[in-house]
Structure 1
Amino acid sequence: VTGSSQGTVVQLGCSLFVDAGVQLSPDFAERATRWANSSLLQTNLTDTNTTHIQEWITTDLADGDVRGMTLESTGSSLSQVTLVSTLYFRSMWQKKFSLMDSQMLPFTTPEGLTLKVPTMHHTAEVNYGQFQTAALEAFSVVELPYLGEKLSMFLVLPSHKRTPLSQIESHLSAKTITLWANSLKRTKMDIFLPRFGIQSFFDLKTALSALGIRDAFDPITANFKGISEQDSLYISEAIHKAEIEVTEDGTKASGATAMVLLKRSRTPIFKADRPFTFFLRQANTGSVLFIG
């Protein structure tokens, strides 16, 4: 599923890889090929050296623009079915940061270590707000729109250096994100943002098991008769990997607490010189595509 608008590309890819020895239910095979424009591919999954999945990621997604995106797996010679879902995002800022204004500035890590990092800067009129949690921990939110203004990056920064980012992150929810987005006001301000890139790898098996999805991972209790009559199918692993890169030009990426809007006391400077949270949000649906 691809969406492109004024230099913005959002692409979702889905593929189901099935070992050649697995006999699929005809009904499931038909449904799988229709689901989210996905593809159903048979390959030799029992060969741990097979590169078909990685080849699909690097050639089918974003016209091969994710050359560095690799999906590590602990797959074994017992693998029979692998579902791969990928989301790709690339866009330019509505107002680019000037490369000439970037400089090496201090950034304080969560451990208290101060490093000099490449930091982007520009002065722009953006949506901005100051909030506080029920525990009176103050923080700022700024919205940096991408070209076309259908998607934006939101940056969340504790107002005081003594406030751990975790105290703000604990309040993150779809409801609070919508509240923040609807409460921001147009403000002309100086923005300092580190140039950064992040790679994250998640074991979804642990997360899904915590949500109560356990039988699917159990070789004894798993029941996938709707996929195949073979009684040995179960999910051995569920993994997710995300990558994001933020530069002067834009972004490339491959995831009941009271909030009170505070009055501004002066012309604000948003300086992300310490840990902050970001998320990419679609304006018309409120969907969060990436968060970190």
Structure 2
Amino acid sequence: MLTSYCLSSFFLMLPEGLFLCHSCFISSLFGWIEVKGGLAGLCVWGCNHGNTESHGERLSSLISQMVAGIWKITKMRTALCLWIVMGVFCLGEVKGHKGHGGDRHQGQGLDHDRRHDNDRGHNHEHKQDHNHGHHHPEASDNGTKLVIQGNGGFAFSLYKQLVAQPDNQGKNVFFSPLSVSLALAALSVGARGQTHQQLFTGLGFNSSLLTQEQVDQALQSILTQLNQKTGVDLSIGSALFLHNTFKPHPEFLKDMKRFYRSEGFTVDFTNTAEAIDTINKYVGEKTRGKIDKLVKDLDPTTVMYLLSYIYFKGKWEIPFDSEDTKEDTFHVDDNTPVLVQMMSVKKRFSVYYDQEISTSILQLHYNESVSMMLALPEKGLASLEEVIGQNHITKWHRWMKARVYQVHVPKMSITTTYSLKDVLSGMGMPDIFSNGADFSGISEDLKVAVSEVAHQASLDVDEAGATAAAATGVVIMPLSFRHTPVLKFDRPFMVIVMDQETKSILFMGKIINPANK
């Protein structure tokens, strides 16, 4: 509907514009004739300036003729420019209204007034244009591609940082890179100077190629597409909890609401128990009860709590039959077997074997563009973690082939909780936690810094499908045409939940022991 309306607005103006250009072209033609005639007259006048004719009157007449011709030319150029500006203006206005109208904002304290007097924090000497509604579609498309690439790179960087943490050794790792990047990108709206630069670099955004405006618009587009899916239950957004005496810049609140689907609430952080309860109830509601204790304690000097959430529940396109689920052995390592409930089904699946890294990949589709990819390396998970990157996901999608397989996948229900302060500092974003943090785009009256970034995710996989909230080798044996190749996930593997439409990694992690909660 938006595209149709934009084009209609443009083309309704087009006939008038063409008529205007045509009529002005005729005017311009006569204008050039008059100018050239005036120039010729001046030459003649210059050669015959000794004649008895009044030189002053003749010179005045020739100049008047040239001025009239120039005016006709100028009028045509002005009319054409106005027509083009009106066309771009209408396209920009419609796109801007669409983004504004798509907000579903409840709560208090989010001002609709818009000011554009603050720099967005890039290392530019000039002030940037904050008129988000007016932009070239080509620039927007390119910005979205760069943001998607940045998000993909950030997902794998964050994964490698998490699995390297001493506390995570030998444990399941599961998180939502999109939820984390969404919160940090929202934070960058109010960051300035080096703080902003560190956030952009850490998120995988090149500030010489991407502006804050492009990031805002790209994430707005991604969030809109994800929240509009009907074949799966997918909800993603953010929220701001503000101390009742803290007044951030109105433009910061405006951008949070418009581009990051942020809901706003005022709380009294000095009453820590009540503030914790308010935030946890909100998160529990948004994640359908999967995560209800994100916040365990709060500093009473807190002035703002920014959170992002994502909830996903999808049914398998090819479901497992619960009658075929049996108790089986999962090998955590060579010396640690555990009993799990192993689901099994024989159907046509998308499978790929990556010879370069000796890894088998199974793609389990949901009812829409979302799918779960399970990667099982022959040489151990550590060998896969050393080399895997965004390019592997692209390659796997390209070379997936459908074939009948006997697939075995363990049922699992896991919950993970992470403090990301040290992780994000290690990814090049230490300033946001320091006294030198520059969040003057949030508030100039009160100097603020980030005290903690908490992340919690959960994953449930059963015969019907998977629910997630932010949350011995493979035996492939084509012995003969009468035998079905087997793909059995009975040892540590990697899991990636991805939306192919937006190229977004919603969740990712590794399963070391599906028996652990």
Give the TM-score range, shorter chain.
0.7 to 0.9
- The TM-score, its normalising length taken from structure 1, stands at 0.87
The answer for the alignment partner of 2:324 in structure 1 is: 101
Q: 1:32 to 1:173 in 2, by over 3 A?
A: same
What is the alpha-carbon distance in structure 2 between the residues aligned to residue 278 and residue 287 of structure 1?
14
Q: 1:46 to 1:232 in 2, by over 3 A?
A: farther
SS in 1 for 2:432: helix
The answer to whether structure 1 residue 36 and structure 2 residue 228 are counterparts is no
The answer to whether structure 1 residue 167 and structure 2 residue 383 are counterparts is yes
The answer for the alignment partner of 1:201 in structure 2 is: 417
- The TM-score, its normalising length taken from structure 2, stands at 0.50
Number of residue pairs matched by the alignment: 273
Query: 8 Å contact 1:154–1:279 — kept in the other structure?
Result: yes
What is the alpha-carbon distance in structure 1 between the residues aligned to residue 496 and residue 315 of structure 2?
16
The answer for the alignment partner of 2:508 in structure 1 is: 291
1:179-212 CA-partner distances (Å, limit 9, x unpaired): 1121111110100010012212222222221222
Q: 1:43 to 1:251 in 2, by over 3 A?
A: same
The answer for the alignment partner of 1:217 in structure 2 is: 433
SS in 1 for 2:236: strand
SS in 1 for 2:229: strand
The answer for the alignment partner of 2:449 in structure 1 is: 234
1:98-119 CA-partner distances (Å, limit 9, x unpaired): 0000000011113631111111
Which of residues 311, 332, 335 in structure 2 aligns to 1:88?
Answer: 311
Which of residues 145, 153, 160 in structure 1 aligns to 2:372?
Answer: 153
Q: Which runs of 5+ in 2 are unaligned?
A: 1-222, 471-475, 510-517
The answer for the alignment partner of 1:121 in structure 2 is: 344
Q: Which runs of 5+ in 1 are unaligned?
A: 256-262
Q: 1:269 to 1:5 in 2, by over 3 A?
A: same
1:199-244 CA-partner distances (Å, limit 9, x unpaired): 122222222212222222112x122222122333110011211111
1:156-200 CA-partner distances (Å, limit 9, x unpaired): 1123xxx22111122221111111121111110100010012212
SS in 2 for 1:243: strand
Matched AA of 2:281:
E
Matched AA of 2:442:
I
Structure 1 residue 138, shift from structure 2 partner: 1.6
SS in 1 for 2:384: helix
SS in 2 for 1:31: helix
What is the alpha-carbon distance in structure 2 between the residues aligned to residue 157 and residue 166 of structure 1?
11
What is the alpha-carbon distance in structure 1 between the residues aligned to residue 353 and residue 253 of structure 2?
51
If asked which structure has higher relative contact order (CA below 8 Å, sep 6+), I would say 1
1:23-67 CA-partner distances (Å, limit 9, x unpaired): 2222323333323221121111232212111111122x15xx225
Report runs of 4+ in structure 1 exceeding 4 Å deviation. 263-267
Cα RMSD between the aligned structures?
A: 2.0
Query: 8 Å contact 2:257–2:263 — kept in the other structure?
Result: yes
- Relative to its length, the structure with more helix (as a share) is 2
What is the alpha-carbon distance in structure 1 between the residues aligned to residue 496 and residue 247 of structure 2?
41
The answer for the alignment partner of 1:253 in structure 2 is: 468
- Relative to its length, the structure with more strand (as a share) is 1
The answer for the alignment partner of 1:278 in structure 2 is: 495
Identity value in percent: 26
Comparing 66-75 and 110-119, the one that deviates more: 66-75
Query: 8 Å contact 1:224–1:231 — kept in the other structure?
Result: no
Q: 1:131 to 1:15 in 2, by over 3 A?
A: same
Query: 8 Å contact 1:46–1:80 — kept in the other structure?
Result: no
What is the alpha-carbon distance in structure 1 between the residues aligned to residue 380 and residue 271 of structure 2?
46
Matched AA of 2:372:
M
What is the alpha-carbon distance in structure 1 between the residues aligned to residue 434 and residue 316 of structure 2?
46
What is the alpha-carbon distance in structure 2 between the residues aligned to residue 184 and residue 27 of structure 1?
46
Query: 8 Å contact 2:311–2:468 — kept in the other structure?
Result: yes
